[in-house]
Structure 1
Amino acid sequence: MRRGTVIFLVINLIIIGFLVNAFSTLIGLLFEDGGADAILRSEIPAPGSNLIDNRTQIIPKIIHQTYKNATIPAKWKAGQQSCIDLHDDYEYKLWTDDMSREFIVTEYPWFTDTFDSYPFPIQRADAIRYFVLHFYGGIYIDLDDGCNRRLDPLLSYPAWLRRTIPTGISNDAMGSVAQHPFFTHVIESLASYNRNWGLPYISVMYSTGPLFLSVMWKEYLGTKREPMEHVRTLMPDEYSKHAWSFFNISKGNSWHGKDAETIFWMGKHWLLLTVSGFAIAGVVGACLWWAWSMWVMKAGRTSTGRTSAGRRKMGWWSRFSGGKDRYELVDRMA
């Protein structure tokens, strides 16, 4: 194999290796089903069962929700009220924008600059839910999630997150004891993920939203933890759409823009995009190889040809100059 070909392959392998390493957590998410930490249906007492009272409850009875102000849109009032009515013995906290910032300034002042720098309000709404769970503990519920039954069975786990399809987790419903190490990891990582990725939807999802939280979850799964530090997974059937499920869903996500429509279209046509991606990668690789052959390897062959010609000339000259040098050396020795 030619030296130029070897160099080209090595450079490409280095680039591929760098990309795989940089996105290893995201790649790992594609193969993580959360089954090892799943909250099984058999673990959950039926609604109204006496077994619920026999379980140790460690998450505080607090429900957290967020909105820009105290005036909740009509489309979410029923869901909000269902959670309040089913949990009249729980403390209810609605975190408005003003309350959220005041809380951050008071309890987590080191995060104030990052909190204020977020360009989208939804990023602050995402961030505050992690901080209040870390500080108070309790259960966070998005306003577009209504309660289908009491949440008492979920108070028995030190922390839980909701599994999504096809991969990852969501941040619309989650619970935790105060100071849980997972949420410590989450809030300490927020500042380093505060980046603009060009598209608002991607920027939100990967800086504070579900994709960010999924990455945090995948990283956390790779560490050894004590039983009380584990994060359990609420699976889709236990989340919604069944009589025994904990939540029901109404229309939400008002922050989504036109770029989100593109992302959702991509999600529906992932197979086509995967095949297209490999095809594009092949074309790009072929173009790079052509450019490498034309400019780098050709230049190398030209340079080698010139060097060989020069050596031939030097060899012809050395037959004369070399002899003269030997004569002069003999003369000096004489």
Structure 2
Amino acid sequence: MRLRADLAILLLLVFLALAFIATRIASFVRIFFEHSGIALTQDEVAIAHNSTSNPDRRPQLIPKIIHQVFHNWRDPGNETIPSDWDDLRQSCIDLNPTWEYKLWTEKTSREFIATHYPWFLTTYDGYSFPVQRVDTVRYFLLLHYGGIYLDLDNGCLADLTPLLYYPAWITDGGRGALSNNILGARPNHPFWTLLTNSLIPYNYNYFFPYVTISYASGQWFETDIWQKYHALLPAPGKDGTQENRLFRIMMDDRPEADPWLYFSQARGGTWVNWDNRMFLWIGDHLILLALGVCGIVGLVWWAMARTVCRKNRGYAKLKSKHKDDDV
């Protein structure tokens, strides 16, 4: 009887552990599927702007500031931007001449964090991968100043003014996690508050460089917080405003997708690590992977159940050698 009880407890603990793991996996996998927020195509942004010429009817929410970040971790101290990136940067300056342009270097980024968010400086300095500092400083810049952030491998194709009438937006490539390469927000939007406050709790080393970068500070992290933020909001319309709601600007970069109207894209991948190809494959085969995990879990459960059954069959009653003992 004692062995049966021990096995029952063991099975219960295994079941609870598997349930916890399954819950965590489900929470993680949702990052790569349909997202919350109000989806807008670039055409819809342009049409809304062109049909609303009266600024009193549609107030500008985002200040006219363009942020870009250049940290030369391959040659520290060298602040010379590669020529192709410099051309992209100049396209944004030329097409938005009345905007303030801010280029944040490794030095000025750290000074900004130290001055305005000193509570985060230890975490900022302690990141294992330099790109994590580029990831995180952009979030604090949008929280503090507002404006539009672009990676240096993105340029501009048009005046960005039509994008200033939404309180906070993010880009959605339509496949997998949301993107953090192009972002827009008014200052002090509650989403960016939640995002920046979540950086320290998410700061773990997940062994794989790609996972650590993506889930501790990058796109996966941002997408997970995006979903959590929306879960905290009242149902659409109940708060009477869209001020705290978020928008997804659809920007699929596949050849068959709609052409981009506001931004261009050049080379990237400056932070690629050895595990990127493996996880790109996983991203393209999520359903197959999920089926494989379910199969392994089922196989383990079946094997343990068979073990318990065999143990139980081993407790047959032994006949006594003396008749008087069988009373």
Per the shorter chain, which TM-score range? 0.7 to 0.9
Residue 144 (str. 1) matches residue 149 (str. 2):
no
**Partner residue of 1:28 out of 27, 30, 42:** 30
TM-score, length basis structure 2: 0.82
Corresponding position of 2:94: 85
Q: Is the 8 A contact 2:157 2:264 kept in 1?
A: yes
Structure 2 unaligned runs (5+)?
A: 73-78
Question: For 1:118-197, what aligned pairs fall within 5 Å after superposition?
Answer: 118-197=127-206
1:216 aligns with 2:225: yes
Q: Cα gap change, 1:265/1:30 in structure 2, threshold over 3 Å: closer, same or farther? A: closer
Correspondence for 1:262 among 278, 287, 291: 278
Do the aligned partners of residues 232 and 64 (structure 1) sit closer, same or farther apart at CA in structure 2, a change above 3 Å counting?
Answer: same
Moved more, 245-254 or 11-20: 11-20
One-letter amino acid of the structure 1 residue matched with residue 31 of structure 2 = L
Q: CA RMSD in A?
A: 3.3
Contact 2:35 2:227 in 1 (8 A): no
2:46 corresponds in structure 1 to 45
| Residue aligning to 1:332 | none
Question: Structure 1's 66 and 52: CA in aligned 2 closer, same or farther, altered over 3 A?
Answer: farther
After superposition, the Cα gap between the structure-2 partners of 1:224 and 1:266, relative to the gap in structure 1 and judged at 3 Å, is closer
Structure 1 distance, partners of 2:87, 2:303, is 58
Q: Distance in 1 between matches of 2:156 and 2:54?
A: 19
Contact kept in structure 1, 2:142 and 2:148, CA below 8 Å: yes
Percent identity (aligned): 36
Contact 2:42 2:251 in 1 (8 A): no
1:34-113 matched pairs, under 5 angstroms: 34=36, 37-40=38-41, 43-45=44-46, 49=50, 51=52, 54=55, 55-68=58-71, 70-113=79-122
Structure 1 contact 158–177 (Cα < 8 Å) conserved: yes
The structure with the largest alpha-carbon Rg is: 1
1:116, CA displacement in angstroms?
A: 1.0
1:113 is displaced (CA, Å) by 0.9
Structure 1 counterpart of 2:171, one-letter code? R
More helix by share: 1
Unaligned runs of 5+ in 1: 320-334
Q: Name the amino acid aligned to 2:268.
A: G
- The aligned amino acid for 1:88 is P
- Compute the displacement of 1:23 (Å): 3.9
Contact persistence 1:63–1:93 (CA under 8 A): yes
Change (3 A) 1:316 1:31: farther
What displacement does 1:242 show?
Answer: 4.7
Counting matched residue pairs gives 308
Residue in 2 that maps onto 1:16: 18
The alignment's TM-score, normalised by the length of structure 1, stands at: 0.80
Q: CA deviation at 1:144?
A: 0.9
Shift of 1:223: 1.2
Task: Return the offset for 1:190.
Answer: 0.2
Q: Does the 8 Å CA contact 1:47/1:149 hold for their aligned counterparts?
A: no
**Which whole-Å CA distance do the structure 1 matches of 2:226 and 2:31 have between them?**
9
